[in-house]
Structure 1
Amino acid sequence: MCGTMLVMVLGLLLGGLILFLVQRNRKQILKTEDGWWGAGAPPADGEDQSIRPFKVTTSDQEIEDLCRRLDQTRPVPSLEESQFHYGFNSRFLEKLVSYWRHDFDWRRQVEKLNQYQHFKTSIEGIDVHFVHVKPRNLPEGAAPLPLLMVHGWPGSFYEFYGTIPLLTEAMEAEQTVFEVVCPSIPGYGFSEAPHKKGFDSVCAARLFLKLMKRLGFHQFYAHGGDWGWLVTTNMAQLEPKAVRGLHLNFVPCQLSLTVLLSLLLGRSFPRLFGFSDVDVRRLFPCKRKLLLEPLLESGYMHIQATKPDSLGRGLNDSPVGLAVYILEKFSTWTDNSFRNLEDGGLTRRFSLDDLLTNVMIYWSSGCMVSSMRFYKENLGQGLHPPHARIPVHVPTGYACFPNELMHTPRLWVEQKYHQLRSMTLMERGGHFAAMEEPGLMVQDIRKFVSIVEKKEK
């Protein structure tokens, strides 16, 4: 009996190895076709491809309407000792709403948003919004490297505001300086929402490739987390020669025989799969860390992947409802132990001004429904869309933050990203890493880029 089991395990290992090697050597390119996402049919004379300046604005009417709605919210008491285990705690919510109503200065935050130049340009029928920051005081003879940074849900381009000054200024003579482009995914923030069904991550990737070319960047680096991980990955699959390097801080595992075997045997034989002590600690026991935790945090995903408009319509009407739904993620996705705190640990990692600025981007643009639809367009294709089976062959760096929603060991990352040049176990930080730890994020981006640039020379 033991001999039979050993043969079966060895057979599975051999089969997994063969499958891994076959997939690794297959250099497929993701295929896509241009679309039209504007209302109605494309104009006969083509679309305007100009790049237009844009400014975030507000008005007395917008602020008065917000205050009226905040004043009319109907509190619901939380259960005793429930902290954040049932969702956003009402006692802390009262303090948050009071701060929002009386102390938060949206006009001042609008000025902060406008400290960098914003633009819009029409691509495939919809206006794409982006922030474009060129370096100041560039050392003589130095050329900045273009860097595209793509956000996720429920974040926004604002997630990267802490990293921009660090990326665009060299603190040391030899440091790489970047020219940063932060777009809003269509349907998020100040990018126009698609007017037709079917706008998924591959479509967003195609639009952002067009955006970068329109800006004159035919080769560039790309960084992404959350949906930004998938959009930038799709960009590398569509045009690997355009993406000089891909830096990620979120890499969900792709289910395969190799993954299943490593989960089955990895705790007993970690070296067989290259698992470090950190991998073992973060992955096992699997039942709790890979099944229970995702179940606790993924209810929103099922709603948004099936009927986003129903819930989204209610959130679009209520600023308090919108804030609760968004900021609950900034609590538990930053550190799941924050569920045990009455304030959700929100002010341990963020300021209320930064949190509410992100909420206000959703509120003022009215983009909550369209941002939620992105889940239906992507997850409605099933768990294995065509791009899921295509490996990435561009140089890749992975910043692995300890409080991310899931841990992905090197073996699993390399299944998809065949040129993994760097993988850093970060000291601290969670899902919203660029906003939580901008210094650590920039440090890792620079490290990865230096490795790629040295290799290319």
Structure 2
Amino acid sequence: MFTEVLLALVIGGLIYFLVQRSKNQVLTTEDGWWGSGAPRDAGEDDTIRSFRVTTSDQELEDLYRRIDLTRPFPSLEDSQFNYGFNSQYLQKVVSYWRNEFDWRKQVDKLNQYPHFKTKIEGIDIHYLHVKPKKVPEGTSAVPLIMVHGWPGSFYEFYGLIPLLTDLSNPHNLVFEVVCPSIPGYGFSEAPHKKGFDSVCAARIFHKLMKRLGFQQYYTHAGDWGWLVTTNMAQLEPKTVKGLHLNFAPPSKPGLSMALSMMLGRHFPKLFGFTDFDIQRLFPCMEKLVVESIKETGYMHIQATKPDTVGRGLNDSPVGLAAYILEKFSTWTSHDFRNLDDGGLTRKFSLDDLLTNVMIYWTSGCIISSMRFYKENLGQGLDAPHAKIPVYVPTGFACFPNELMHTPRLWVKQKYRKLVTFTPMDRGGHFAAMEEPQLMAEDIQKFTKIVEGKVKE
């Protein structure tokens, strides 16, 4: 009996030691310089400059000329979106883009929020900074940085921003929102040197928030923004008050994940799996492999030779639109592959979709945006941040049509202080753009709990 107790104490002490050691793990990083040439001796210009999205007759004439020179190519009969973007429907989208889409009107819409640029580590960082019009007396706005992914942009959050900054419900918190463009995306300058990964973006965004006067703040993200904001929490866990995500694939498979995959179908309660978890995690192996092949070919290209395919997309607006919009179809729902129109306008308007494409086209950022895959995925599972748990309070919105389903157990492997895990009624990968109301409600719920306004 004494031996068993002693053994239990030793094992318990070892587990406690490992947990405490992991709690003390903080991601470390060093300042970089991503501008052209060597760092400036005079130091960095920390001026914040106003910025407006603009267009010109020459820009539109060049776009229309390139669209008019496009050579159509027919899709196979009854292929829908299973071979990629359906050519017949693409012609309809291109016709709308060429003849009806009003880019000047959309530019005005983009400029409805204040845009700024500031130079950090040698490159210009673009961001929106939206302050609430009214803050209840005796309170202050909650600072929140929201980070997009690929092939999205800051525009993904345009439906969500007013739901967070306008106090229509007096019981809600009001937010002060910052939406930056990841360097190499949209109107943020692209890095001029190799090696700019998610940790570098996280470090730059911390510098941005501090330059704006924030000492602590919340974060929200999906897609690549998930990794950037996770790195922000790992770099400065006392600075990030709360981390809200709608995408959190396992960064490093662990023992509990392996056991849950082997036994979870037969013993779901042992791993806290719901019926929906079982449905998403345990189709036949063939289906899992086929689905992976169907939706990840782009990733291999962008993680290896992004500049080659990027040159074609940078020259052809129609090619760029097909490449980007195909993701807004199949990543919103796999079932949309079987529709002639890819289901594109079931959740989005063509004006919104083409506005996102135009941000890529007018800024010429498609190549630099795709390089982010090579810089990040080239490290594989050996990236330092993959081994470090997150102890910042975390909220996870689990949307049913997300590319990869992550049950609560797997989220907690990485995010040890999981405050909320919300199974959402509907929505896919571009959740903030698809379902801004649902997203706003979940951000409110999570933040209120962390702020002590409501109980868990």
Instruction: State the alpha-carbon separation in 1 of the partners of residues 315 and 17 from structure 2.
Output: 49
Aligned partner of 1:259: which letter? M
| TM superposition shift of 1:289 | 5.7
Instruction: State the alpha-carbon separation in 2 of the partners of residues 281 and 145 from structure 1.
Output: 37
The answer on whether the counterparts of 1:263 and 1:286 sit within 8 Å (CA) in structure 2 is no
2:423 is matched with: 425
CA offsets per residue over residues 310-355 of structure 1, 9 Å max, x none? Answer: 0001100000000000000000000000000010000001000000
1:166 is matched with: 163
1:260 is matched with: 258
What are the equivalent positions in structure 2 for 1:425-444 lying under 5 Å apart?
Answer: 425-444=423-442
1:362 is matched with: 360
SS of the aligned residue for 2:233 comes to: helix
Q: TM-score, normalised by structure 1?
A: 0.94
The answer on whether the counterparts of 1:20 and 1:415 sit within 8 Å (CA) in structure 2 is no
Cα-Cα RMSD: 1.8
The answer on whether the counterparts of 2:393 and 2:450 sit within 8 Å (CA) in structure 1 is yes
Distance 1:42 1:448, change over 3 A: same
Distance 1:313 1:23, change over 3 A: farther
| TM superposition shift of 1:98 | 0.3
1:95 and 2:89 are equivalent in the alignment: no
Instruction: State the alpha-carbon separation in 2 of the partners of residues 83 and 348 from structure 1.
Output: 16
Aligned partner of 2:168: which letter? M
Aligned partner of 1:388: which letter? A
Instruction: State the alpha-carbon separation in 2 of the partners of residues 137 and 396 from structure 1.
Output: 27
- Which stretch of structure 1 is more off in the superposition, 438-447 or 17-26? 17-26
What are the equivalent positions in structure 2 for 1:165-184 lying under 5 Å apart?
Answer: 165-184=162-181
Instruction: State the alpha-carbon separation in 2 of the partners of residues 293 and 48 from structure 1.
Output: 48
The answer on whether the counterparts of 1:130 and 1:184 sit within 8 Å (CA) in structure 2 is yes
SS of the aligned residue for 2:451 comes to: helix
1:40 is matched with: 37
Aligned partner of 1:351: which letter? S
The answer on whether the counterparts of 1:163 and 1:439 sit within 8 Å (CA) in structure 2 is yes
| TM superposition shift of 1:42 | 1.2
1:292 is matched with: 290
The answer on whether the counterparts of 1:400 and 1:426 sit within 8 Å (CA) in structure 2 is yes
2:394 aligned to 368, 393, 396, which one?
Answer: 396
Distance 1:308 1:36, change over 3 A: same
Instruction: State the alpha-carbon separation in 1 of the partners of residues 368 and 436 from structure 2.
Output: 28
Instruction: State the alpha-carbon separation in 1 of the partners of residues 222 and 211 from structure 2.
Output: 24
1:375 aligned to 358, 373, 376, which one?
Answer: 373
The answer on whether the counterparts of 1:148 and 1:223 sit within 8 Å (CA) in structure 2 is yes
Instruction: State the alpha-carbon separation in 2 of the partners of residues 350 and 219 from structure 1.
Output: 34
Instruction: State the alpha-carbon separation in 2 of the partners of residues 91 and 138 from structure 1.
Output: 50
2:185 aligned to 185, 188, 204, which one?
Answer: 188
| TM superposition shift of 1:287 | 1.6
Distance 1:288 1:282, change over 3 A: farther
Q: Which runs of 5+ in 1 are unaligned?
A: 1-13
| TM superposition shift of 1:139 | 2.3
1:68 is matched with: 65
| TM superposition shift of 1:411 | 0.6
Instruction: State the alpha-carbon separation in 1 of the partners of residues 46 and 75 from structure 2.
Output: 51
The answer on whether the counterparts of 1:283 and 1:289 sit within 8 Å (CA) in structure 2 is no
SS of the aligned residue for 2:144 comes to: strand
2:8 is matched with: none
| TM superposition shift of 1:20 | 12
Count of aligned pairs? 443
| TM superposition shift of 1:284 | 0.9
Distance 1:229 1:289, change over 3 A: farther
SS of the aligned residue for 1:454 comes to: coil
| TM superposition shift of 1:22 | 4.4
| Identity value in percent | 74
Q: Which runs of 5+ in 2 are unaligned?
A: 1-10
| TM superposition shift of 1:408 | 0.4
CA offsets per residue over residues 362-392 of structure 1, 9 Å max, x none? Answer: 0000000000000000011123311000000
Instruction: State the alpha-carbon separation in 1 of the partners of residues 340 and 439 from structure 2.
Output: 29
1:120 is matched with: 117
CA offsets per residue over residues 60-111 of structure 1, 9 Å max, x none? Answer: 0000000011111100000000000000000100100000000000000000
| TM superposition shift of 1:256 | 1.6
What are the equivalent positions in structure 2 for 1:84-233 lying under 5 Å apart?
Answer: 84-233=81-230
Instruction: State the alpha-carbon separation in 2 of the partners of residues 268 and 316 from structure 1.
Output: 50
SS of the aligned residue for 2:381 comes to: coil
SS of the aligned residue for 2:291 comes to: helix
Poorly superposed stretches of 4+, deviation over 4 Å: 17-25
Instruction: State the alpha-carbon separation in 2 of the partners of residues 311 and 20 from structure 1.
Output: 49
SS of the aligned residue for 1:262 comes to: helix
Q: TM-score, normalised by structure 2?
A: 0.94
| TM superposition shift of 1:258 | 1.4
2:334 is matched with: 336
The answer on whether the counterparts of 1:24 and 1:391 sit within 8 Å (CA) in structure 2 is no
